[in-house]
Structure 1
């Protein structure tokens, strides 16, 4: 569909176009969710409850690191002192459904992006479409990297801290299934979306809302915001917040570099037109 044809479309035509893209996206998510629903054993026993086991790869790695640098071996343990339980009749079935849908969204994310791109790309100029061809690949890689970071770093740190925290030895931790899964879901999805920062900055720069100078000027405020975000998605200990904050700060610096390239290309195109 050319830009001319897009301009000739009415508002209702755009809504109809958007509706079909949404239907295709939802259909892809539901198909992937069905597969995740059927793979219950792998999804729950391996993925969901993996960070609740002492032999989880992150704990083993952090245990070796803590031993190597001579720190307290807080990640060296044989079991986590809590139990997970379901206290409602439909608790396990509801958890199964919503976990499958979440997994379906993560699996179908590249296709959802593809449908989003098909909807917005006809409104772009040819040179804009040319410079944005890698949008789906880069966005998907960033999202999946963020999801892995959330699963292997944020989730274990949160579970280890909250699962071992006690106000008194008289209180035993028995976590509700929904509460536990919500923590895993929030950690992975939030990290996946946060890792999309360079893509967001790219488009904000393209439409003129952000410049490299703006990002540099407010870098110190961004640092505070990053620390706040880290505090929200991690347990309230300094080590965990620093571990999460570092990649976000790297992404922010990468966003400045991307914004500079976008501005440079825009100026180059303007000179060619003159």
Structure 2
């Protein structure tokens, strides 16, 4: 009985040691990137603030309403950027941990999905920065009442932008989510097409919840999500027959 229990405990301990190693490597990679970005934290914040500063009247600027905000806001941004930059390394560590337990077909499907998810998240953040933020701040600058100076706190601005980045980054994962659902057999491309109307309503509700309370950012999130929903249907159409064929051959 003791030998059998030891045989069970050995693989468990080996898995825990491997998990600790992967977490340690991922953390070290993240800290190395963060250490490299910290000297440029203020420059990163200045770059992030450009979409707002470009829409403010001449001489407009951000303000700091708390004593430590000029220090903590750039540090928080540097950590977020370090997390984005090191994400491929972190995902690789997660992949190296789970890959030995996957079948060859699962590995063949997981790698493209992980790569697509990462690229789509980056694309969502870039879309938010280069298209959404200038439009949102341009709209807010135009509707600001006369006699009101638009002076935003640097911490509030950072939180606002990071929420948009996360919202758009996660929203751009919609095609990957639909492909996974199709691979699991939970939905079919035909069901996705038939439920398009309900999906559009749900997309606008999600956009209203995830984005700030202005029409511009909501539309800028909802419209790409509708297009990505169509892209997800097309992608699901390609993977579903392959899945069925694999099942038939098995």
Tell whether the structures are fold-level matches, with TM greater than 0.5: yes
Q: Does the CA contact (< 8 Å) of 1:147 and 1:191 recur in 2?
A: yes
- Of 162, 167, 171, 1:185 maps to 162
**Kept after mapping to 1: 8 A contact 2:52/2:133:** no
Match of 2:129 among 146, 151, 165: 151
Q: Are 1:155 and 1:188, in contact at CA under 8 Å, matched by a contact in 2?
A: no
CA contact (8 A) 1:205 1:263 kept: yes
**Partner SS state of residue 61, structure 2:** strand
Answer yes or no: is 1:211 the counterpart of 2:185.
Answer: no
8 Å contact kept, 1:32–1:108: yes
Partner of 1:25: 26
Where in structure 1 are there 5+ consecutive unaligned residues? 1-6, 55-76
Q: 1:127 to 1:224 in 2, by over 3 A?
A: same
Asked if the contact 1:157/1:235 (under 8 Å) is kept, the reply is no
8 Å contact from structure 2 (residues 26, 93) kept in 1: yes
CA contact (8 A) 1:51 1:159 kept: yes
Aligned match for 2:245, one of 268, 271, 274: 268
Contact 2:179–2:232, Cα closer than 8 Å, also in 1: yes
Say whether 1:252 aligns with 2:191. no
Larger helix share, 1 or 2:
2
Alignment of 1:4-83 (within 5 A): 13-45=14-46, 47-54=47-54, 79=57, 83=61
Count how many residue pairs are aligned between Structure 1 and Structure 2.
Answer: 242
- Please list every run of 5 or more consecutive structure 2 residues that lacks an aligned counterpart in the other structure: 1-7
Asked whether the 8 Å contact 1:87–1:176 carries over to 2, the reply is yes
Name the Cα RMSD after superposition.
2.8
Give 1:120 deviation, angstroms.
Answer: 3.0
Cα deviation for residue 87 of structure 1 reads 1.6
Aligned partners of 2:198 and 2:146: how far apart in 1? 41
Distance 1:12 1:164 in 2: 61
TM-score in terms of structure 1 length: 0.76
Separation of aligned partners in 1, 2:199 and 2:163 = 22
Q: Which residue of 1 aligns with 2:117?
A: 139
Q: Alignment partner of 1:209: what SS? A: coil
User: Kindly tell me: are residues 223 and 257 of structure 1, through their superposed partners in 2, closer, same or farther at Cα, counting changes over 3 Å?
Assistant: same
Change (3 A) 1:200 1:151: same
Q: 1:120 to 1:143 in 2, by over 3 A?
A: same
Q: Secondary structure at the match of 2:186?
A: coil
- The TM-score with structure 2 as length reference comes to 0.83
Superposition deviation, residue 15 in structure 1: 4.5
CA distance in 2, matches of 1:159, 1:268: 50
* Shift of residue 10, structure 1, vs aligned partner: 5.3
